[in-house]
Structure 1
Amino acid sequence: MIYQISSGQGPAECELGVSKLWDYLQSHYDVTLLDTSQGYYAETFRSIRLYSEDDLAEYVGSVQWICRSPYRPNHKRKNWFIDFQLCETVRTDAFDPEQVVFDTFRSGGKGGQNVNKVESGVRAIYLPTGQAVVCTEERSQYANKQKALSRLQALVQKSEQDQQAQQKNQACRHHTRLERGNAQVRFEGPGFRRA
């Protein structure tokens, strides 16, 4: 599963909290870093996207860190909130030509009497997604099948790229939706101990 840790629109202390939560997760779970958005200070992050097979559902929502500000020691605020969200996953299986079904039909256009006698038009359907393309440009069924297969592969890859871009945009929108309060999990102190 893909998760995102975010400081929301919070100050540098929240960005430090993102970094500390990431360190905590690394020491307690099997997690893999996908990408980061750098924070104001070194070693801090505005957001981190990570992958884990472990169930991290208990962290989903608001995570509270109770600590005096390491950047502004005289600041009265001691409660810093971090957002932890489950991201939608995009299926990125490799295109499998074995999963393509061809449907043939008689096509109009160039080809003389051949058009009326032979089913040279081809409709290719990719079974996992239901996407389909039609090819009737060539006079032979074989050539139309090759073109249809190539177009279908490009269509499926484009669709996957669009879904990945949409997933990244959604992750950016999560970055602005941090709920302050109602924390699922609490941590305390500079050592980021679980409360």
Structure 2
Amino acid sequence: MRRLLLTAGRGPAECRLAVKHALQRIADEAELADCDCAIARGGADRHGPASAIVVLDGPAADDIARRWTQGSLLWACRSPLRPHHQRKNWFIGVVDLPLSAQTATLAATDVRFESFRAGGPGGQHQNKTESAVRAVHVPSGLTAIARDGRSQHRNKALALARLAALLDGRARLAEAHHISLIQAAHDRVERGAAGLRFEGPAFRPIG
């Protein structure tokens, strides 16, 4: 399991929009790789979230995480919010957020499980039974999915672990001493060479 932090840091609204685009790209990559992806957004406004936590779990989780944390993320695009603004380069931070050694146990009454059918590894086979599981944290509305286990019981455990990692990440960012993590991530990518690059309103990858 891998957990990533995406942040607009102290950047303008365009950086929030870049975070929004990046989250959709990560979710799309995870779906293509049959990797379960759960997202918690923080400080969202109509342009996008100021920060977000992404939990990736599955065989491709490490590869996706490495791709997105290889350096800064640059979005080269004329501002869709301020057409006459001269700035065209928008940076966001994407860093690993280490998993805690131990996460809090979720109250059973706070979690609702939903079963559904999902394709097997590689999307080649359709489950004969509804073994895939969605865990919903009722108080927050956050969800996590597990479909890679061999049984519904196993998928419940996996979904619960992913949901706990998501909630733990959000709680850590809410603590004062993790504000520095967000700011440092953003400041570092502003100064460093860009890793992933995207361009235009469609957020197309460069290179």
Distance 1:33 1:172 in 2: 22
What is the percent sequence identity of the aligned residues?
28
Gaps of 5+ in 2: 106-167
Match of 2:42 among 32, 37, 62: 37
- The 8 Å contact of residues 31 and 50 in structure 1, kept in 2 or not, is answered as no
Gaps of 5+ in 1: 96-162
Task: Flag the 1:31–1:68 CA change in 2: closer, same or farther, 3 A.
Answer: farther
Distance 2:14 2:170 in 1: 29
The answer to whether residue 23 in structure 2 is matched with residue 22 in structure 1 is yes
Q: Which amino acid letter does the alignment assign opposite residue 70 of structure 1?
A: P
Number of equivalenced pairs: 127
Deviation of 1:50 after TM superposition, in Å, equals: 0.9
| Structure possessing the higher radius of gyration over alpha carbons | 1
* 1:53-102 CA-partner distances (Å, limit 9, x unpaired): 3121122131000001011000110000010010111123789xxxxxxx
Distance 1:33 1:171 in 2: 21
Q: Which residue of 1 aligns with 2:4?
A: 3
Distance 1:46 1:166 in 2: 15
Distance 2:18 2:74 in 1: 9
Q: Which amino acid letter does the alignment assign opposite residue 47 of structure 1?
A: S
Matches within 5 A, 1:1-195: 1-29=2-30, 30-40=35-45, 42=46, 44-53=48-57, 54-55=61-62, 56-60=65-69, 61-92=71-102, 167-168=172-173, 169=175, 171-177=178-184, 178=186, 179-180=189-190, 181-195=192-206
Task: Flag the 1:183–1:94 CA change in 2: closer, same or farther, 3 A.
Answer: closer
- The 8 Å contact of residues 39 and 46 in structure 1, kept in 2 or not, is answered as yes
- The 8 Å contact of residues 74 and 196 in structure 2, kept in 1 or not, is answered as yes
Distance 1:34 1:184 in 2: 22
